[in-house]
Amino acid sequence: MTKPIKKEQTLIMGIESSCDETAVSIVAGDKEILSNIVLTQLEEHKPYGGVVPEIAARSHIDHLNRLIREAMREADVGFEDLSAIAVTAGPGLIGGVMVGLMTAKAIAFARELPLISVNHLEGHALSIRLTEEVVFPYLLLLVSGGHCQILIVKGVGSYQRLGTTIDDAAGEAFDKTAKILGLEYPGGPAIEKAAKKGNPKRFKFPRPLKGKPGSNFSFSGLKTAVLRAKDNLCAEKNGILQKQDIYDLAASFQAALTDSIVDRLGHAMDNYLEYFPTGDHILVVAGGVAANCAIKERLKSLCDHRRFKLKAPPMHLCTDNGAMIAWAGVEKFRRNEFSELNAGAVARWPLDPDAPAAIGAGIKA
């Protein structure tokens, strides 16, 4: 039997459509996830080895209304029970963002509900507070398909960027490397699966920026190194690679990428401790790449050595979902941070707008 909804209870609907997941969730202010519906478009984009923006936007249009009904039915609530509508307004693929935002605006207007525009990255950044009692500040490693950043999370809407990618994000590097190796899309799970059978020391791939000052990332050269190694192998073997060759390439790539992340994060930890030398030191890892077990194991070792506590949302909250947007909505609702109905969709929306421009980072900053 569904628990009855208290009229004074905060209930937020979260809508997420920034990339290739159409997601709707209802989350209560007491951290209960009443529903969390996610429709993935993997099969639609798999033939292309990556997300096609036009296909993604059209899929959001086709399915979003149905998913809203499903989420409300599962949560056993009506529009009259909702406190507000939270929606991703960026950053992301602008067509998809517009679909979600316009739908949320329509509901907010028709039902006279407050609208809360949410930064997709802030949804990831705050998601750990939905499942655990984590207080500000904390260090955040945000690793996803389109973004790779290290930030100090000082509070809701208050972020200090310590590092960002200057070319490819980690998720992009996984997807592009998987395509080079002939593995399935999405590349992250495919690389991780292949790497378990491979020798991570067979190929001496570069560790981009390792040992250099700062905490920025670079993965483009690593991806190119994999391509060259594969081409050299093909030349040696008359174009016929064994499965073990692919496994070893995947394992060596994953090891190099992980070493790079750990090195960059070590610098960020030093920087964080300059600002916050006392208290509990927490590292939160969020975003789709946070689901990679090999990366999390290395991060756990790093945290143990540096006396940080490693925390990550549950697997289903690491990838894009509506619950993280709804929870960000709860956090903003408590601060009376609402949006006007003329709020726009944006492709670029940095969490730290005052951070200096990172050459090459573009919208990933």
pLDDT given at position 2: 44
pLDDT given at position 359: 67
154-177: pLDDT as tens digits: 999 999 999 999 999 999 999 999
55-90: pLDDT as tens digits: 999 999 999 999 999 999 999 999 999 999 999 999
| Mean local confidence (pLDDT), 24-39 | 98
pLDDT given at position 288: 84
Beta bridge pairs of residue 33: 27
pLDDT given at position 1: 36
**pLDDT at residue 7 greater than cutoff 60:** no
Identify which of 6, 109, 23 has the alpha carbon closest to the alpha carbon of residue 326. Answer: 23
The answer to whether residues 363 and 348 touch, using CB atoms and an 8 Å cutoff, is yes
| Mean local confidence (pLDDT), 183-203 | 96
**pLDDT at residue 272 greater than cutoff 50:** yes
| Mean local confidence (pLDDT), 209-223 | 94
pLDDT given at position 145: 76
Beta bridge pairs of residue 81: none
Q: How many helices (H) and strands (E) does the chain have?
A: 12, 10
Strands, sheet with 115-119, edge to edge from the N-terminal-most edge strand: 33-40, 21-28, 11-16, 84-90, 115-119
The answer to whether residues 35 and 72 touch, using CB atoms and an 8 Å cutoff, is yes
Q: Mean pLDDT in the chain?
A: 94
What does each C-alpha distance from 44 to 17, 52, 56, 60, 322 come to in angstroms? 15, 9, 8, 12, 20
| Mean local confidence (pLDDT), 200-227 | 95
pTM for this prediction: 0.94
- List, as own/partner pairs, every contact residues 100-105 make where C-beta atoms lie below 8 angstroms and the sequence separation is at least 24, other chains included: 100/15, 100/16, 100/17, 100/18, 100/60, 100/64, 101/343, 101/345, 103/15, 103/64, 103/65, 103/68, 104/15, 105/341, 105/343
What does each C-alpha distance from 261 to 113, 141, 180, 187, 220 come to in angstroms? 42, 9, 22, 18, 14
What does each C-alpha distance from 252 to 122, 155, 205, 213 come to in angstroms? 32, 38, 7, 24
290-340: pLDDT as tens digits: 889 999 999 999 999 999 999 999 999 999 999 999 999 999 999 999 999
Cis peptide before 137 (omega within 30 of 0): yes
Give the three-state DSSP class for 242. coil
Ordered by where they begin, the domains of the chain are 11-127+317-350 (3.30.420.40), 136-312 (3.30.420.40)
Strands, sheet with 309-311, edge to edge from the N-terminal-most edge strand: 158-164, 148-155, 138-143, 282-286, 309-311
Look up residue 126 and give its amino acid.
Answer: L
**pLDDT at residue 252 greater than cutoff 80:** yes
**pLDDT at residue 24 greater than cutoff 90:** yes
Distance from C-alpha of 203 to C-alpha of 78, rounded to nearest angstrom: 57
pLDDT given at position 290: 83
Q: How confident is the model at residue 357 (pLDDT cuts 50, 70, 90)?
A: confident
Q: Count the Cβ atoms, other than its own, within 10 Å of residue 304.
A: 11
